[in-house]
Amino acid sequence: MTNRIKTSDWEALSAYLDNQISAKDRSRLETRLRQEAELAGALEELRRTRVILRSQPQLRAPRNFTLTPAMAGVRRPGLRISASPFATLRLASVLATIFLIVVTVGDLAVRRFSPAPTTMVAPEQAFDPRLGKGGGGGGGPGIAPPAPAMEIQSVPEEPAGLSAESSEMPDDMALVVTPLSYPAPTQEAAMRESPPGLESGNSLGPQAGGAVEKAAPASTSSGAVLIIRILQVALGLLAVGAGIVALLLRRSQL
Amino acid sequence: MDEASLIQAALKGDLDSFNRLVLFYQDIIYSQAYRMMGERDAAEDAAQDAFISAFRKLDSYRGGSFKAWLLRIVTNVCYDELRRRKRRPTTPLEPLDNDQEEIESPRWMSDTGESPEEYTERMEVARALQRCLNDLPVEFRTVVTLVDIQGMDYSEAAQVVGTPLGTVKSRLARARTRMRDCLQGVWELLPDSMRLVGESEL
Tell me if chain B has a CB within 8 Å of the CB of A71: yes
CA dist., res. A192 & res. A171, Å (int): 17
Percent of chain B at pLDDT above 70? 82
pLDDT at res. B126: 86
Tell me if chain A has a CB within 8 Å of the CB of B151: yes
Q: B201 falls in which pLDDT band (50, 70, 90)?
A: very low
Q: How many CB atoms lie within 10 A of CB A200?
A: 12
pLDDT at res. B8: 92
Q: In Å, how far are A234, B10, B63 from A229, measured between CA atoms? A: 9, 58, 67
**B187 to chain A: which residues are within 8 Å by CB?**
48, 52
Nearest CA in chain A to B150: A58
H/E run at residue A119: none
Reported as a single tens digit per residue, the pLDDT across A118-168 is 555 444 544 455 544 444 444 444 444 444 444 444 444 444 444 444 444
pLDDT at res. B167: 95
| B51–A67 CB contact, under 8 Å | yes
- For residues A127 and B167, the model is more confident at B167
Q: A201 falls in which pLDDT band (50, 70, 90)?
A: very low
Question: Do A159 and A137 meet the contact criterion of CB atoms below 8 Å apart?
Answer: no
pLDDT at res. A31: 96
Reported as a single tens digit per residue, the pLDDT across A27-42 is 999 999 999 999 999 9
Average confidence (pLDDT) over A226-254: 86
- For residues A61 and B120, the model is more confident at A61
Percent of chain A at pLDDT above 70? 52
Tell me if chain A has a CB within 8 Å of the CB of B48: yes
Q: B194 falls in which pLDDT band (50, 70, 90)?
A: low
Q: Is B12 exposed, middle or buried (0-12, 13-18, 19+ CB in 10 A)?
A: exposed
pLDDT at res. A206: 45
Tell me if chain B has a CB within 8 Å of the CB of A70: no
| A72–B40 CB contact, under 8 Å | no
Q: Is B25 exposed, middle or buried (0-12, 13-18, 19+ CB in 10 A)?
A: buried
pLDDT at res. B98: 45
- For residues B196 and A56, the model is more confident at A56
Q: Give me the long-range contacts of B177-181 (CB less than 8 A, separation at least 24).
A: B177/A10, B177/A46, B178/B132, B178/B135, B178/B136, B178/B140, B179/A49, B179/A52, B179/A53, B179/B129, B179/B132, B179/B133, B179/B136, B179/B144, B180/A45, B180/A46, B180/A48, B180/A49
What is this structure's pTM?
A: 0.57
Tell me if chain B has a CB within 8 Å of the CB of A238: no
- For residues A148 and A112, the model is more confident at A112
Q: Is the pLDDT of residue B95 over 90?
A: no
ipTM score for this prediction: 0.81
**A56 to chain B: which residues are within 8 Å by CB?**
125-126, 129, 149
To the nearest whole Å, the CA of A79 is away from the closest chain B CA by 17
Q: Is the pLDDT of residue B94 over 60?
A: no
Q: Give me the long-range contacts of B195-199 (CB less than 8 A, separation at least 24).
A: B195/A51, B197/A51, B198/A47, B198/A48, B198/A51
Tell me if chain B has a CB within 8 Å of the CB of A65: yes
Which of B11, B14, B15, B107 to probe by mutation at the A interface, max A CB count within 10 Å? Answer: B15
* C-alpha closest to that of B61 among B174, B53, A12: B53
